[in-house]
Copies of this chain bind each other. A is one copy, B any other.
């Protein structure tokens, strides 16, 4: 491992890792800004802004942005989450400086042409339409809103159509001024990269920017609640979420091990009991999602309308059973999956660049792999059972049901089953 970090005087950070044997590299900028940094009126602007970055800069049209990267066989893309907006490219090693030049250009010099804003509005309204035609996209947005109602963390990333229809040039400019300061940005690259060269290029491209202090985000308060919409679909979609630790919490690995043992793989309890033994579902899983201050453990499954009561009740029962009898062997397996998954993930330059950026953002440093492994190994069976007991009976819950869900138990019935 050869992770190197450099910080410019304005707070802009560069983190790189050279990976021997690779001909290509992944390079990107992770901006510490996402949907939770929006006000209610701004909901959807972080994502819309990410789109507008590709619609033309002072130096390049939208076509030129795409051509510059694709002429050398690379690709460029971006995503917006609740806490992060990332712009990244994958290119051959020799083209890393070119990729950085394009990424810096689209971040720093977007023109926000009014005609282009109108056109891109149409694209995003179609993206929202596509999401509304995808039942598990719909249900995850609802679940997030029920988990964190009337809070920035509970709002949809794409935003509601009405807000997306309203944004104008000054809205983008003001959001950038507020949230795209150099101290909010991390340049991360992995693969065939040269740290000193990137640090020098970053100084030229980003060194002149002034830090923009901003007010802290509104803390997430997992409140919970439920939403149910009956619709004529093939499947009844069921999702339930519970409050879970944030990134920096001591028990984050306890939560991750729990989620892996409960519903993380083919040997997990939910997969074995609900899919393998009963054949109720094709998709069923539990996963953790963490933010700076809080998190969610989510269980999702799709089944038929007639089977949704059995599925919902079994899910609660499996959570309760896990609290009393999760075995050391299951904990050991979950640990092995996390550790090997970490190692195998690091073999991809894209995963590695992303991980470096996120670790630096969260911790202000890159914890050694051994440190992470040690934290995973230090979680005991008792820790996981205690966490499981809290989750099964006490943690606030959010429930979302979509499709032929008429016969599903009520939220109160499921809450009573948890407490029983």
State which residues 106-133 of A face B: CB under 8 Å: 118-130, 132-133
Are A233 and B133 in contact, with the CB atoms below 8 A? yes
Name the residue of chain B whose CB is nearest to the CB of A260: B70
Q: How far is the CB of A271 from chain B (nearest CB, A)?
A: 8
Known A21-B21, A23-B347; judge A336-B73 contact (CB<8 A): yes
Return the contact of A129 from the options B76, B132, B304, B343 (Cβ within 8 A): B304
Q: How far is the CB of A300 from chain B (nearest CB, A)?
A: 11
Name the residue of chain B whose CB is nearest to the CB of A335: B73
Name the residue of chain B whose CB is nearest to the CB of A232: B232
- Assembled-state Cα–Cα distance A278/B125 (Å): 13
Known A21-B20, A126-B304, A302-B126; judge A337-B282 contact (CB<8 A): no
Name the residue of chain B whose CB is nearest to the CB of A403: B133
How many residues on A have C-beta within 8 angstroms of the other chain's C-beta atoms?
75
Q: How far is the CB of A28 from chain B (nearest CB, A)?
A: 15
Are A276 and B234 in contact, with the CB atoms below 8 A? no
- Assembled-state Cα–Cα distance A129/B382 (Å): 40
- Assembled-state Cα–Cα distance A336/B128 (Å): 33
Return the contact of A344 from the options B24, B234, B347 (Cβ within 8 A): B24
Interface check A340, CB cutoff 8 A: yes
Are A279 and B235 in contact, with the CB atoms below 8 A? no
Interface check A71, CB cutoff 8 A: yes
Are A333 and B71 in contact, with the CB atoms below 8 A? yes
Which residues of the other chain, B, contact A21 by a CB distance below 8 angstroms? 19-21
| Complex A-B: 28 CB contacts under 8 Å | A19-B21, A24-B347, A63-B267, A63-B276, A66-B267, A67-B267, A67-B333, A70-B333, A70-B336, A73-B336, A73-B337, A73-B339, A75-B265, A76-B266, A90-B344, A91-B340, A118-B279, A119-B276, A119-B277, A122-B278, A123-B281, A126-B279, A126-B303, A130-B234, A130-B282, A133-B233, A133-B234, A347-B348
Q: List 6 A-B pairs, minimum CB-CB distance, nearest first.
A: A73-B340, A122-B279, A66-B266, A119-B279, A129-B234, A66-B267
Given contacts A123-B282, A133-B403, 6 further A-B contacts (CB under 8 A): A55-B276, A73-B339, A118-B279, A125-B304, A126-B235, A126-B281
